[in-house]
Every structure is written in C-alpha cells, then in structure tokens.
Amino acid sequence: MAKLTRAQLIELVETHYFGNVDTKRLEPAVKYFHADAVLGVQTAGVVHVGETAIRRMFTDFFGSTKTIFHGDYSHVVDVEAQRIASQFVARNTYNDGRQIEMRNCNFFELRDGLFTRVTIYMSGANPLV
C-alpha cells in the first residue's frame, strides 16, 4: 500500500479517528486499527492489546460519557515513517455530570494506512480503562 500523505494522516486522525470517537461510532473508530494493534495510556500505565481489548475499552468509554470532544489540534507528521503526533484539547461530560477538560498528546504509528500503535499522554485522570 502507498504511504499516506501528510494531509491524509491528519485527516485520518482528526476525521476518521477522533471524529468517530466524538460521535461514539464504535465500528468506524476501531476499523482504523490493525487486529494486533496496541493502544497505551502512558501516563496511567494502561495498555490495551488487540482488537477485542481496544473495542472493549471504547465501548466502556462511550457508555460512561454523555459527550466527547477533541479539537484545537496541533500535529507533527513524519510521512516517511508513517507517524503522526497530535496535541489537542479533550473535553468530556460524563453521565454523572462531571465535566473534564484535558490537554493531551497522542502518538500514532501506522502500517498500510492503519494504526499499529497509539501512545497517549493525558494531563488528567485516564477514562480509557
């Protein structure tokens, strides 16, 4: 498969990944992960390995939140290595009424246009357990 361009990598992260997470669309969000992908929250020491674990994590997160928002993006893109680092604001309103805003940074590694590893650094408590 041809390497994704800078614009395609940014679109993948902002629209296809975070856009689907923000609208709680599970299938479109997880389809961009390789079956053996690793998603880790580095600041919490939590790692989800493989499609089943990542799917369960998102299912639980979607179930506990009323609204999810990611925006105010800043990206550093390495087209040759197929990697993108994205800093952004994450704003969640939970079912219990809590509203949390964090400034986070995710590091995405891709192969064949799909995520192989996503490493997350959060400025607050980890909701991705």
User: Structural domains in the chain?
Assistant: 6-121 (3.10.450.50)
Which tens digits make up the pLDDT trace of 10-51? 999 999 999 999 999 999 999 999 999 999 999 888 999 999
The single residue listed with the structure tokens 């969000």 is 29
In the chain, what are the helix, strand and coil shares in percent, each to the nearest 5?
Answer: 30, 45, 20
Residue 80: strand, helix, or coil: coil
Please report, for residues 15, 17, 21, the alpha-carbon distance to residue 70 in angstroms, rounded to integers and kept in the order given: 10, 10, 9
Question: Residue 27 — φ and ψ, nearest 5°?
Answer: -60, -50
Model pTM score: 0.93
- pLDDT tens profile 49-60: 999 999 999 999
d(CA 82, CA 34): 14
